[in-house]
Structure 1
Amino acid sequence: MIKRIVPLLLFYNSIAFANSPPNSKYFSPISESRRALQDSNREIKQLSKLSHKEQIEQNLNKSELKAKKQILPESDICLPISGIYLQGITLLNNTDLENITPISHDCITTSTLNLLAREVTQLYLDKGFITARVQFIQPNKDGELGVQVIEGFIEKIEGGNWWINTRFLFPNTINKPLNLRALDQGLDQANRLQSNQATLDILPGQLSGGSIVVLHNRHKRPWFVSTSIDNYGQINTGEWLGHTTLSFDSPFGMSDFFSININTTIKSYSEKFNRSYTLFYSVPYGNLTFSNFYSYSQYLTKLQLPNSLIDLDGNTQQYGIKGDYLAYRDQDNLITLSGQLTQKRVNNYFADALILVSSPKLSVLELSVNHAHIFTDGVLNSNFSIEKGLSILGIDSSKNIINNQFIKYKFALDFNQYFTAFDANYQFKHQLFAQYSPDPLPGIEWLSLTERSAIRGFSHSSVSGDNGWYIRNTLSRSYWVAGSQVTPRVGFDLGQVYPQGKRRQESTAFGFSLGITAHYNQATIDIDISRGEIVSGSVTRNEPIMALFNLAYQF
């Protein structure tokens, strides 16, 4: 009987928990599950973005490639030739060649030939073919001067080892055209591992047009350990948390990466705790990066009823695979296509009885496109994704009381700008996130405004819904004080959620924050003071001032 009654009772409670009041003693199992999944997703995204961050940093440090000014001595004297023909071009199309300045056959000079050579070479450089060379051939019997293009290719790659696996970083490149973008991608994949600091040289080969790519690497120890403590946890399950991350670079000699994260309440009380574990593995293959992950979390808290103390406990787990493909790359842009399949399983219990409405099982397919545009003073990153709930991997929609075949659209925009004001250097960081679904979503798929990664300043209240958006704005400046880098910051956040259903009204939340981060060698200290406020209809709820502390150290 209990198992039949509890789901109905908790169904109504789960609605109330979605917008719980400040200083509430109530506990929302679905909110705790959503928070656990979002925390693990944040860890997974940070790990999968390592190569993307490396690509942006590499491009920021590159200068534009320019063709040599001249091949022949400049002269305005007309040469005894009747025309010009091109040969050896296979990597440029007719549209590319239309950008070449038209040549008048009435008077062809060495200046004309130098301009032609520069423009042809620049067309190759713009596409990343940096070893293409232009040579002039003696005029034929018709008096036409030949322009021979030697399109460079990779003769061989040297310097590969256990930490830099050339078969995975530079696949199918031998005897293929030498393209700097492909080489840069391989370098980025190698340097996404913290133990690598790889560079390359391009040397002349033994064959005509051939080049030898020589890799160099300043290798450090392949394992890393980081640990931290903070008070980012929840009152009901334990505020003070400990985190440990252990990672290994190239454990199988494929320039691959493995990481395990362990998070737990520092003191596990008999009446409350929170623990989570995340495993992540990735392996590159040229423009492709494959990864898989697994996360598990569990919690326990107590609910005081009039005549008894009841256990509320649960666990969440998700596992999935992901593929990222760098579809386009140039001096200022990176476009990445991604696909991810994830299974999520949530179990929440009330006095050992499963709460069906708060225990969904989902299989979700996500397709996304990411575009990074690099400016001289910053980076603009945008991401659009579509998520679709599927009835696969053991998910039976006919036996599920929760809509597990939803569709959800998400958009994220990150803009980092560096500027100078009053003889000081500043960084402005703007983040926008929005999601929309025409379907009622499971609670774990809602957008929560009061999560630490969304609007800052909330520790008691909870506001979430199917649809919504938020923006985060942070202004910071870095100083060097006694060998430490100190970065104070100020932030303002704003957002809204729009739950499904005619009777439920939108809620607005905003928050202010002041913080400071200090780095000294391998240690980092972060302090953040913030306060949030919620406006729901005619009701305004003020959140108490929240002080967050984080101490981290990397070995």
Structure 2
Amino acid sequence: MPTVLSGRKSRAALALFLFSLAPIATQAQVLRDEGVRLLEEQRNREREDSLSRPAPVIPRPESPVAPPATPDRPDGPVFQISRIDIVGDTVLSASEKADLVAPFVGTSMGPKAIDMLLGRVTEAYMRKGFVTTRAYLGPQNLASGRLEITVIPGLIEKIKVDGQEPAMTARSAFPMESGEALRMDELEQAVDQINRLRSRRAEAQILPGQSPGGSELSIDTRAEKPWRVSLGVDNFGQTATGEKRQRLGVEFDNLLGLWDAWSLTSVESKNTRSELLSVSVPVGFGTLSYAYAQSESHNLLAGTITMHNHSKSHTLAWNHVVLRNQSTRFALDASLAMRDSQRHLDSIALTPQQQISGRLAGSLLIRMPIGALTADLGYSQGIPHFGGDGDLPNTPRSAPHNQFEKWDGTLGVSLMLNSHLALRSTLAGQFARMGLPGQEQSFYGGASSVRGFKEGVIAGDRGQFMRNELLWTTASSLLLPGSLKSSGVRFDPFVSLDAARARLLADSLDQRIASAGFGFRTGWKDIAADFTWARPLTAPPGISREQRLHFSLSLMF
């Protein structure tokens, strides 16, 4: 005789059966992990900060006057020079040294020509960032036809931070040490590492030392209070778990004396709660970071059946600056992420999932007189080791793969068009040749991508989005009364134009959305608000085209 299940158990069994039958068709409706969203929001803020943060401005020692390409007519005693050697050099290549001395070899050189050559050699070092290294002429017999130029490295004699020598732990953030030749890129990196902390606005000076070419580095961090607490509300949540969100954040700087940055964020909505803990520690040209995220949510399936989700993730990352100068910075990133997720249909536990993935990326920042540009290109791969789930044999290409591969890229631009208008644009996307797990897909729609739509209305294994803002930068000075301007009130209106497309490999057509809108950001002291009204221009069938208001309010103290 067949067994008859109770009403509640039969509904759960039915929901479980239906859920297992359609894993592919429901990919686009995957509930996005709020912990993963918090981590992505943090990364987006860091990218925006890099666009808006000015390059360190460090006064350089006076540069020698650039000499002409060939020596002027001789003056004073002159000597026929057939050979010129540069000694004490460890920076310039043989070809660079040959190019420097070539115009002078085989010529008659007097004091003026020799000064010109010394200036050329010193200038070559300054262009490479050795701003205190100098070329000198020691005692020698020029009548022999040989000229020897001695390079004296400009050594760092002392490093002081806020008037005191830093502790050994704090020095680990600096690429340079006392006794080494001073390089501007290393000093700029040290200032940047300090300015990662929101409570610091460091500036540096190069002061004369006691020895020839020696210098003392003085860094003023302009420290503010090391901790901050923030409260906020917004309507950036998902429909299934509640659109209205409340946010609590705590930040602490330099807790360990390593120029370390700590942050803890908690976000809660009607049916979900998520937390993110992150810490980063600088080490010279590198930065080590760790993030832990967890989230819990529940939403209804099949009427009265509730899906409970609990996930946690660990992400360990290393960023290393490979090249930098006053206008350009290129860095490499490597990260390893582990994510555990557990799901229940009412009281029925589904098979837990553990996904491990690695990512390698390169990032570029270019600063220009009228703005800045960032570019990022990354490759990610699912790892079926260390406890990570693998793929079942003969998994269809369009089905979700734990052993996935994907490429992603982001291009960001911030430009001043004229004295009144600025343009901010972001173009981002990802590409995969196989189906991706839900949390690796692209989700578009909402305040962070295409405004005018609810959060994550389209998703796919492949996708791209474009987000544009045209800002009126002088609105505060032109529109606000004098009393508000003098008190520090900010008012930044803008118009927006956004678009995105996404496609699951199981589908043959793209889903496309686009919107246009306007809004403003305003703030006063530690209070900030952001309001955007947007109307959909394009949307797939079944997705609402009603206009939408996105808002966020925050208070920091």
Distance in 1 between the 2:103 and 2:516 partners?
60
Task: Give the corresponding residue for 2:438.
Answer: 443
Match of 1:545 among 542, 547, 556: 547
* Distance (Å, rounded) in 2 between the aligned partners of 1:151 and 1:453: 50
Residue 10 in structure 1 maps to residue 7 in structure 2? no
Identical-residue share of aligned pairs (%):
23
Distance 1:63 1:170, change over 3 A: closer
Kindly tell me: are residues 217 and 427 of structure 1, through their superposed partners in 2, closer, same or farther at Cα, counting changes over 3 Å? same
What corresponds to 1:149 in structure 2?
A: 151
Aligned to 1:77: 74
Residue equivalent to 1:467: 462
* CA shift in 2, pair 1:282/1:94, >3 Å: same
1:151-174: per-residue Cα shift (whole Å, max 9, x none)?
112223233577995421225623
Q: Name the SS of the counterpart of 2:423 in structure 1.
A: strand
Of 329, 333, 346, which aligns to 2:328?
333
Corresponding residue for residue 42 of structure 1: 40
| Contact kept in structure 1, 2:85 and 2:149, CA below 8 Å | yes
Measured on the aligned residues, the alpha-carbon RMSD in Å equals: 3.0
Confirm or deny: 8 A CA contact 1:533 1:542 kept in the other structure. no
The Cα of 1:376 is off from its aligned counterpart by 1.0
**Corresponding residue of 1:300:** 298
Q: Distance in 1 between matches of 2:196 and 2:250?
A: 16
Q: What is residue 3 of structure 2 aligned with on the other side?
A: none
**1:199 equivalent in structure 2:** 203
For 1:219, the equivalent position in structure 2 comes to: 223
Alignment-derived partner of residue 277 in structure 2: 279
Shift of 1:392: 2.5
Q: Alignment partner of 2:144: what SS?
A: coil
Distance 1:130 1:284 in 2: 25
Aligned-residue offset at 1:516: 0.7
Q: 1:99 to 1:143 in 2, by over 3 A?
A: closer
Contact 2:313–2:337 (8 Å) recurs in 1: yes
Contact 1:409–1:437 (8 Å) recurs in 2: yes
Query: CA offset at residue 263 of structure 1?
Result: 0.8
Query: In the TM superposition, what is the alpha-carbon distance from 1:276 to its structure 2 partner?
Result: 0.8
Give CA-to-partner distance per residue, 1:62-111, whole Å, 9 cap, x none.
6898731179xx97335422224322211211233244262253332444
- TM-score, normalised via structure 1 length: 0.86
The one of 486, 489, 495 aligned to 2:494: 489
Match of 1:89 in 2: 89
Q: TM-score, normalised by structure 2?
A: 0.86
Q: Which moved more, 1:376-385 or 1:231-240?
A: 231-240
Describe the SS at the equivalent of 1:31.
coil
Judge conservation of contact 1:75–1:110 (CA < 8 Å) in 2: no
Cα distance 1:472–1:541, how it changes in 2: closer, same or farther (>3 A)? Answer: same
Q: What is the one-letter code of the residue matched to 2:160?
A: E
| Cα distance in structure 2, aligned partners of 1:353 and 1:143 | 93
1:269 equivalent in structure 2: none
Aligned CA distance change for structure 1 residues 77 and 397 (closer, same or farther; 3 Å): closer
8 Å CA contact 1:234–1:459 kept in 2: the answer is yes
Q: CA contact under 8 A between 1:163 and 1:250: conserved in structure 2?
A: no
Q: Quote the Cα distance in structure 2 between the aligned partners of 1:260 and 1:220.
A: 19
1:379 partner SS = strand
Structure 1 unaligned blocks of 5 or more: 20-27, 266-271
Measured after TM superposition, the shift of residue 412 of structure 1 is: 0.6
3-state secondary structure, aligned to 2:326? coil
Q: Which amino acid aligns with 2:63?
A: A
Tell me by how many angstroms 1:15 deviates.
4.5
Task: Determine the C-alpha separation between the residues in 1 that align with 2:367 and 2:521.
Answer: 26
**Contact 2:236 2:455 (C-alpha < 8 Å) held by counterparts:** no
State the alpha-carbon separation in 1 of the partners of residues 293 and 533 from structure 2. Answer: 30
Determine if the alignment matches structure 1 residue 317 to structure 2 residue 312: yes
Structure 2 SS opposite 1:531: strand
Does the 8 Å CA contact 2:330/2:364 hold for their aligned counterparts? yes
Among 376, 379, 382, the residue aligned to 1:386: 379
Contact 2:230–2:249 (Cα < 8 Å) also in 1: yes
Checking the alignment, whether the CA contact within 8 Å between 1:162 and 1:250 is kept in structure 2 is no
Judging changes above 3 Å, is the alpha-carbon distance between structure 1 residues 171 and 398 closer, same or farther for their aligned structure 2 residues? same
Change (3 A) 1:387 1:451: farther
For residue 366 of structure 1, what is the aligned residue in structure 2?
359
- Residue 196 of structure 1 deviates from its aligned partner by 2.2
Equivalent position of 2:369 in the other structure: 376
- Check conservation: 1:17, 1:462, Cα contact below 8 A: no
**What amino acid does structure 1 have at the position aligned with 2:188?**
D
Q: Kindly state the Cα deviation for residue 124 of structure 1 after the two structures are TM-superposed.
A: 1.0
Q: Flag the 1:554–1:475 CA change in 2: closer, same or farther, 3 A.
A: same
How has the CA–CA distance of structure 1 residues 542 and 238 changed in structure 2, closer, same or farther, with 3 Å as cutoff?
closer
For residue 4 of structure 2, what is the aligned residue in structure 1? none
Letter in 2 for 1:374: R
- Post-superposition shift, 1:258? 0.9
Q: Partner letter of residue 125 of structure 1?
A: M
1:42-441 correspondence to structure 2 within 5 Å: 42-46=40-44, 52=50, 57-59=54-56, 61=57, 67-69=63-65, 76-78=73-75, 79-83=77-81, 84-100=84-100, 102-103=103-104, 105-140=106-141, 141-159=143-161, 165-171=169-175, 173-265=177-269, 272-303=270-301, 305=303, 309-356=304-351, 360-397=353-390, 403-420=401-418, 424-441=419-436
Instruction: Give the drift of 1:469.
Output: 1.0
Query: Which 5+ residue runs of structure 2 have no aligned equivalent?
Result: 1-8
Aligned residue pair count: 524
SS at match of 1:32: coil
The CA distance in 2 between the partners of 1:214 and 1:494, in whole Å, is 48
Q: 2:550 is aligned with what amino acid?
A: L
Structure 1 residues 502-522: Cα deviation after superposition (integer angstroms, max 9, x where no partner):
x53221111112111111111
**Are the equivalent residues in 1 in contact too, given 2:360–2:380 (CA < 8 A)?**
yes
Deviations 1:413-472 (A, max 9, x none): 00111121xxx4211011111111112111221112224322221127721111121111
Asked if the contact 2:61–2:206 (Cα under 8 Å) also holds between the matched residues in 1, the reply is no
Contact 1:263 1:276 in 2 (8 A): yes
